[in-house]
Amino acid sequence: MKLFFTVFAFLFFLGVSAQNKVLFLNGDTMSIGTFKVDTTKFLIEYKNKRNKEKFIDIDNVFSIVDSTGKETVYYIPVVMDEGDSVIVSVKQMRDFVGGAFDANNEHKAWGAFGVGLASGLAGAAVTAPGMLFYSPIVPAGTSVLVGFTQPTKSKVVKLHPDKKDNDYYIRGYQQSAQSKRTNQAIKGGLLGLLLGITGILIYAAQP
Domains of the chain (ranges plus CATH)? 3-76 (2.30.30.100), 88-204 (no CATH)
Sequence letter at residue 35: F
- Amino acid 134: pLDDT: 87
Mean pLDDT value across residues 94-101: 97
Cβ atoms of 42 and 75 closer than 8 Å:
no
Q: Of residues 13 and 100, which shows the higher confidence score?
A: 100
Q: Of residues 18 and 148, which shows the higher confidence score?
A: 148
Please measure the distance between the N-terminal and C-terminal CA atoms of the chain and give it in whole angstroms: 71
Compute how many other C-beta atoms are within 10 angstroms of the C-beta atom of residue 139.
28
pTM of the model: 0.82
Cβ atoms of 45 and 54 closer than 8 Å:
yes
Cβ atoms of 139 and 127 closer than 8 Å:
no
